[in-house]
Amino acid sequence: MVVWSPFRFNSGQQAANRFAMAPLTTDSSNQDGTVTDHELEFVRRRAASGFGLTVSSTAYVENDGRSWQGIGAAHRGHLASLQRLAEAMRAAGGLAILQIYDGGRIAKPELTGEQLRAPSAVASLRPGASTPRAMTADEIEKLIASFGQAASLARKAGFDGVEIHGANHYAIHQFFSPRANHRADKWGGTLAKRMNFPLAVAQAVRDALGPKLIAGFRVTPLEAEPGGYTLEDAKVLCNELARLDLDYISVSLDDYRNSRPVGETRVYDGPIERSPPPAAHPVTEFARVIAGRSAVMASGGIRTRKDAEGAIGMGADLVAVGRAVVVDPEWLAKVRSKSEASILAGLPKEKPEIAGALSIPPRMVDYLLSRPGWIPRL
């Protein structure tokens, strides 16, 4: 079966199977962005169930862009922490990928101590969001360099590659979005100019990694919010990313079956006005445009082997699994041994049980439970 077959990336690295552990922020790092033992245990246990590759929780590249109390890849002081993380992620033999991000207008000032900075002075749709200041051209160049430096740190720390977080309304997504990016210089305006930042980051990361490590890019395939970028826009971006010889494009969806993108307000409040979903399916469309030049990774709502096969049937090469492995750390081992009936269907009722039995850091338990409906409960 194709899901258990190995996959060779452009860089020559090989994943033992088509399953990736999705990036899962635990919000549980030390205040200085170093990894905690709880986080290491969270990822070590899950990676050990046999993922071909494991993508880390997202790491900030500049202090001013922190959206979470998560890991940092922002300076040499983070190197030892990143080494520990890479080691835990690779303990069972899978490939270890560091995801890197900047929060832009959805960073948290209470973490950064700074006013938000973003492509333009336009507030996010999240309730209570404050208006960021527009970044200067120098700050934009510096942020691109910071992504490159984070990739260098990942290489030194022993990761097999880096995934650029270009999805889910973080800074790279904001530069690509006509809703968030109103700039009139080379970083905004036309579709071509809105692609300049994502492409410059991808180039900086590829340069820092060299040709033999994996460079991936996670993208939200369209914006649901009116006036947002379309699937056609994102296909143009993917075509350009594939030209940069990226190893994979990861398509971030709430549910891979129904083309529903992750909305900007996501779990933060009720529904917002949404554009109708596209007739074409993002995974299939991306696979068509990319045409084998990079791999396509699908995610969203994968809970069974059949789901994974369904995504691969739509054109994906790999699938990333998130909530199913939060809830059941041994999810993949159970799928592999055809014991799907024993997969845990939701988080237990009692909080201590969640943290202890499932190796979920206590802070993460709190934020998972603070968003009703996000994660199934028993």
Residues 78-117 that bind ligand FMN (CB under 6 A): 99
As measured in angstroms, the least distance from the Cβ of 92 to ligand FMN is: 20
Picking from 201, 218, 80, the residue whose alpha carbon sits closest to that of residue 146 is 201
Smallest distance from the beta carbon of 21 to ligand FMN, in angstroms? 9
Contact 119, 183 (CB under 8 A): yes
Out of 149, 168, 177, 196, the only residue in the binding site for ligand FMN (CB under 6 A) is: 168
Q: Quick check: helix, strand or coil at residue 347?
A: strand
Query: Using the rule CB under 6 A, is 201 a contact of ligand FMN?
Result: no
Is residue 249 within 8 Å of residue 286, measured between CB atoms? yes
By CB under 6 A, residue 300 contacts ligand FMN: yes
At closest approach, how far in Å is the CB of 137 from ligand FMN?
27
Contact stretch for ligand FMN (CB under 6 A) within 8-16, 240-248, 275-283, 298-306: 298-306
Residue 68 or residue 197: which is nearer to ligand FMN going by CB? 68
What is the distance of C-alpha 127 from the center of its chain? 23
Among 267-275, 276-284, 296-304, 345-353, the segment contacting ligand FMN (CB under 6 A)? 296-304
Site string for ligand FMN, 54-73 (x = CB under 6 A): ---xx---------------
Which strand (E) or helix (H) includes residue 368? helix 362-369
Distances (CA, A) of 221 to 27, 126, 320, 344: 25, 20, 15, 30
Alpha helices (H) along 23-136 = 37-47, 79-90, 109-112
Site track for ligand FMN across 111-150, x = CB under 6 A: ----------------------------------------
State how beta strands 14-15 and 7-8 pair: antiparallel
353's tokens: 């049980």
User: Is-contact 121 36, C-beta < 8 A?
Assistant: no
Question: Which of 25, 67, 112, 149 is close enough to bind ligand FMN by CB under 6 A?
Answer: 25
Cβ atoms of residues 69 and 34 within 8 Å: no
How buried is 127 (Cβ within 10 angstroms: 0-12 exposed, 13-18 middle, 19+ buried)? exposed
What character string, x for contact with ligand FMN (CB under 6 A) and - otherwise, covers 245-274? -------x----------------------
Residues in contact with ligand FMN by the rule CB under 6 A: 22-25, 57-58, 99, 165, 167-168, 218, 252, 299-302, 321-324, 326, 368
